[in-house]
RNA sequence: GCCGCCUUAGCUCAGUGGUAGAGCAGGGCACUUGUAAUGCUCAGGUCCGCGGUUCAAAUCCGCGAGGCGGCUCCA
């Protein structure tokens, strides 16, 4: 059997989970078994046990698992009837619950040594095949994912057929840790969170704020080019707006509590921008001739997230959406979405993301609007995808209740996927607010509204960028593009001249004029991941040049100041990632 | 929110009942340096908070806050 086929890997990992369960049962016999499937790269097993598993326990379990692997126990399938199955599971209440839900009379079990578990299989033929595994972590999980049910302990592990694959996996894990945006964010002066004064709220430090400014400028320019207009709207509004939009009923648990004043309506911090854009739409009468209307806003929203889910800048309680709303006629959806797909690809690829996973989500069980409109809109979205020859998967029934949507996930350099862009048709809000426009026959009609975001959240996108580039931002994004280093103090006046010239040409340049050794200044600048260093000493001052050194690439030789600036502007313009001098 | 682990200087961490430590970063002085750490020196602390045990708590116990790994959820 092919050792890398999905079937084999699944069987192997599934057997690994049984070995884990077997080891746990040997060491802690009072533990009750729940479920233990194979997952991507590995496996887990859920256990019910009062005592938590300590790191020492995990070590002991690993040791026991290794013994089971060495003993190379044969894995055999045993089919039995319901009665016999119930007999075998009499001490396993969770398994019993599963048994009671299985239809049919033939129940399969798998046995290795003294351990037997009800399981559909398939499995590896013996425990000796599971050589390369590692237990990674323990977490809590609810029985059947239901928070009202028992809290279980889940032990995760990874498992591969070859040692090299396990080593590579563990190495990638290390690599991902080194790229962690929370660590780089602090080390590079990009951002901070101030947990003592409100968890999940992002402070953009000078270097991070510079990157954000570059992103925002690029974003605005790209929108103007595509016929968008920009909006700014308030951060709070009377709660009545949220009643009208319906958020109070379907989004309440994600909203911060309202602010009560002595008189009048309480105010509410906004979790979304759309109602504000709607109000602007409603402030005048609209004709079909204006369509499509494309309005965009970098709108900061606040959502109450449960404390356990916050994660760096990737999951926060206050974030800025690159939000836009398009108002159009139903027959314009397809064209708008086609253009949007173009826009999204252009935008994301500018940041170095060129691999995508695209999902089309269709009508869920609970929905608003008519089936006919849903079908038309879904078809329009699908046609747009087909027109752009993009491959996509359909997520049946995964649409939001108010309309079908396209989600685009990007892949970073570690092949991890991140959901950023989303294009959603909304049948709900135009209805609730009674939106209208005047058609060709001078009749009022309801416009279609499309919500869309490209980055999703600036904070989140920023975090993804940090990890994607591991803090080594391309020149166009780098907060400091050039750092000038002097060999000795007496070259500072010339260095300042060069600095001034760079800045005049809108190059983000700094000068390290400290009395440290050149070696120390280089070390510092390299650690700051500054893409281009310019060293200035005797030779350079005499010839009006500077010695270029590129991050991680080392010395490149002398260039005239004019050429230096021209070259950087060119690199910036083309958004090049790999650069050379 | 749930389970486990964690919280000591700006950062990374040592100290596990008996006077609070190191490296880096920061300040000062000297050096004036040619491609990844020059030397000397100084300063820096509510040991997360509150309560308890004890002659004595950074250290043990309880509660709370926050962080981390997951679960559930999600931009």
Q: What is the pLDDT of residue A57?
A: 81
pLDDT score of A141: 82
User: How far apart, in whole angstroms, are the C-alpha atoms of residue A561 and residue A417?
Assistant: 42
Are A408 and A504 contained in the same domain?
Answer: no
Q: Are residues A460 and A486 in the same domain?
A: no
Of the three residues A469, A495, A525, the one that is the final residue of a domain is A469
pLDDT value, residue A78: 86
Q: Strand pairing partners for A393?
A: A359
Residue A364: its pLDDT value, please? Answer: 87
- Same domain membership, residue A504 and residue A432: no
- Shared domain for A507 and A383, answered yes or no, is no
- Beta-carbon contacts of residue A399 (< 8 Å; ≥ 6 apart): A361, A362, A363, A364, A367, A378, A405
| Residue A551 is among the residues annotated as catalytic for this protein | no
Cα radius of gyration rounded to whole Å, chain A: 30
On whether the CB atoms of residues A533 and A554 are closer than 8 A, the answer is: no
Residues 6+ apart with CB under 8 A from A100: none
Find the helix or strand (DSSP H, E) in which A533 lies. Answer: strand A532-536
**Nucleotides, chain B, CB distance < 7 Å:** 1-5, 11-12, 30-38, 65-75
- Asked if residues A127 and A116 have their Cβ atoms less than 8 Å apart, the reply is no
The strand pairing partners of A153, in sequence order, are A47, A140
With respect to residue A342, please indicate whether it lies within any of the assigned structural domains. Answer: yes
A299 and A431 together in one domain: yes
Residue nearest to nucleotide B24 (CA to C1'): A524
Mean pLDDT, consecutive 10-residue segments, chain A of 581 residues? 78 91 89 87 87 78 90 88 84 86 82 87 86 84 78 87 86 82 94 89 95 98 97 95 90 88 84 96 96 97 90 94 96 96 96 93 87 91 95 86 92 85 93 95 96 96 95 97 97 97 97 95 96 96 96 93 97 94 88
Question: Would you say A379 and A438 are in contact if contact means Cβ atoms under 8 Å apart?
Answer: no
DSSP string spanning A345-386? Answer: HHHHHHTT---EEEEEE---SS--S-HHHHHHHHHHHHHHHH
The reply to whether A154 Cβ lies less than 7 angstroms from strand B is yes
User: Distance between CA atoms of A43 and A57, rounded to whole angstroms?
Assistant: 18
How distant is C1' of B33 from CA of A519, in Å? 9
Domain annotation covers residue A247: no
In a domain? residue A240: no
Whether nucleic acid strand B comes within 7 Å of the CB of A517, the answer is: yes
- Is A321 a catalytic site residue? yes
A245 within domain boundaries: no
Question: Does A246 fall in a domain?
Answer: no
Residue A305 and residue A457 in contact, taking contact as beta carbons nearer than 8 Å: no
**Coil, strand or helix at A93:** helix
CB atoms within 10 A of CB A41: 17
- Find the CATH number of the domain harbouring A311: 3.30.930.10
- Tokens 């991050």 appear where? A551
Nearest CA to A199 out of A304, A52, A127 is that of A304
3-state class (DSSP) for residue A291: coil
Give me A272's structure tokens. 């979304």
- Domain identity same for A487 and A451: no
pLDDT at A1: 61
What is the rounded distance in angstroms from the CA atom of residue A307 to the CA atom of residue A316? Answer: 9
Residue A203 within any structural domain of the chain: no
Task: State how beta strands A293-302 and A318-328 pair.
Answer: antiparallel
In the residue annotation, A322 being an active-site residue is answered as no
Q: Examine the domain organization and report whether A512 and A462 are in the same domain.
A: no
Decide: A277 and A269 in contact? Cβ < 8 Å.
Answer: no
Q: Pick from A469, A504, A523: which residue ends a domain?
A: A469
Query: Encoding tokens for residue A86?
Result: 């119930």
pLDDT at A300: 96
Is the CA virtual torsion A27, A29, A34, A37 positive or negative? positive
Identify the domain containing residue A220 by its residue range. Answer: 212-235+269-469
Last residue of one domain, picked from the residues A173, A195, A227: A173
In a domain, A405, yes or no: yes
Residues in chain A: 581
Catalytically annotated residue among A223, A405, A452, A468: A405
Q: Identify whether the C-beta of residue A228 lies closer than 8 Å to the C-beta of residue A262.
A: no
Is the domain of A385 the same as that of A492? no
A392 located within any domain: yes
> Do residues A455 and A500 share a domain?
no
- The tokens of A434 are what? 């009674």
- Kindly report the CATH number assigned to the domain that includes residue A526: 3.40.50.800
**Residues A399 and A512 both lie in one domain:** no
Crossing angle of helices A333-350 and A206-225, rounded to 10°: 140
A177 touches strand B (CB under 7 A): no
CATH classification of the domain holding A34? 3.30.980.10
Statement to judge: residues A283 and A152 lie in one domain: no
Tell me if residue A235 is catalytic: no
User: Both tokens of residue A303?
Assistant: 């959502």
**A282 and A362 inside one domain:** yes
Q: Give me the pLDDT at residue A108, please.
A: 86
For CA atoms A237, A240, A246, A252, the dihedral sign is positive
> What's the structural domain count of chain A?
3
What does the pLDDT read at residue A446?
95
Asked if ipTM goes beyond 0.90, one says yes
Q: Tell me the C-alpha distance between A512 and A216, whole Å.
A: 28
């Amino acid at each position: 059997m092919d050792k890398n086929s999905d079937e084999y890997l699944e069987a192997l990992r599934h057997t690994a989970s049984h070995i884990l369960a077997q080891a746990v049962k040997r060491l802690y016999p009072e533990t009750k078994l729940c479920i233990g499937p194979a997952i991507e790269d590995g496996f887990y097993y859920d256990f019910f046990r009062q005592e938590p598993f300590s790191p020492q326990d995990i070590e002991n379990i690993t040791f026991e698992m290794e013994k089971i692997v060495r003993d190379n126990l044969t894995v055999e399938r045993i089919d039995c009837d319901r009665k016999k199955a119930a007999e075998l599971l009499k001490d396993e209440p969770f398994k019993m619950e599963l048994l009671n839900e299985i239809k049919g009379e033939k129940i399969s079990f798998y046995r290795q040594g003294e351990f037997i578990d009800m399981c559909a299989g398939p499995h590896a033929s013996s425990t000796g095949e599971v050589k390369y595994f590692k237990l990674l972590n323990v977490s809590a999980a609810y029985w059947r994912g239901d928070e009202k049910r028992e809290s279980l302990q889940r032990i995760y592990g990874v498992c591969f057929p070859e040692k090299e694959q396990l080593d590579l996996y563990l190495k990638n894990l290390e690599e991902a840790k080194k790229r962690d945006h929370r660590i780089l964010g602090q080390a590079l002066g990009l951002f901070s969170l101030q947990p003592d004064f409100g968890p999940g709220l992002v402070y953009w430090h000078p270097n991070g704020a510079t990157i954000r400014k570059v992103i925002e400028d690029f974003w605005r320019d790209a929108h103007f080019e595509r016929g968008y207009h920009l909006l700014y709207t308030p951060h709070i509004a009377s709660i009545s707006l949220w009643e009208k939009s319906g958020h109070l009923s379907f989004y309440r648990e994600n909203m911060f509590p309202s602010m009560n004043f002595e008189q009048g309506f309480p105010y509410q911090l906004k979790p979304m921008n759309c109602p504000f854009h709607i109000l602007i739409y409603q402030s005048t009468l609209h004709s079909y001739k204006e369509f499509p209307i494309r309005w965009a806003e970098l709108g900061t929203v606040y959502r109450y997230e449960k404390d356990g889910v916050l994660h760096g800048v990737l999951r926060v309680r206050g974030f800025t959406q690159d939000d836009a709303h398009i108002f159009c006629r139903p027959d314009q959806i397809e064209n708008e979405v086609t253009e949007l797909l173009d826009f999204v690809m252009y935008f994301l690829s500018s940041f170095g993301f060129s691999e995508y996973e695209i999902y089309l989500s269709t009508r869920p069980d609970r929905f608003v609007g008519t089936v006919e409109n849903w079908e038309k809109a879904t078809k329009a979205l699908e046609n747009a995808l087909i027109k752009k020859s993009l491959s996509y998967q359909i997520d049946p029934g995964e649409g939001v209740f108010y309309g079908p949507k396209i989600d685009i996930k990007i892949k970073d350099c570690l092949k991890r996927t991140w959901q950023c862009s989303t294009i959603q048709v909304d049948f709900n809000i135009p209805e609730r607010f009674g939106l209208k426009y005047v058609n060709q026959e001078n009749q009022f009609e309801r416009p279609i509204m499309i919500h869309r975001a490209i980055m999703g959240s600036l904070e989140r996108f920023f975090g993804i960028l940090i990890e994607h580039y591991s803090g080594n931002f391309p020149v166009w994004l780098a907060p400091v593009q050039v750092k000038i280093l002097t060999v000795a103090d007496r070259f500072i006046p010339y260095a300042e001249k060069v600095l001034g010239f760079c800045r005049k040409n809108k190059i983000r340049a700094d000068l390290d004029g400290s009395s440290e050794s050149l070696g120390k200044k280089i070390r510092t600048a390299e650690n700051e991941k500054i893409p281009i260093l310019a060293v200035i000493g005797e030779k350079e001052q005499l010839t009006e040049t500077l010695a270029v050194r590129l991050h991680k690439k080392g010395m490149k030789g002398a260039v005239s100041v004019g050429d230096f600036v021209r070259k950087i502007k060119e690199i910036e313009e083309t958004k090049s990632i790999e650069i050379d001098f």
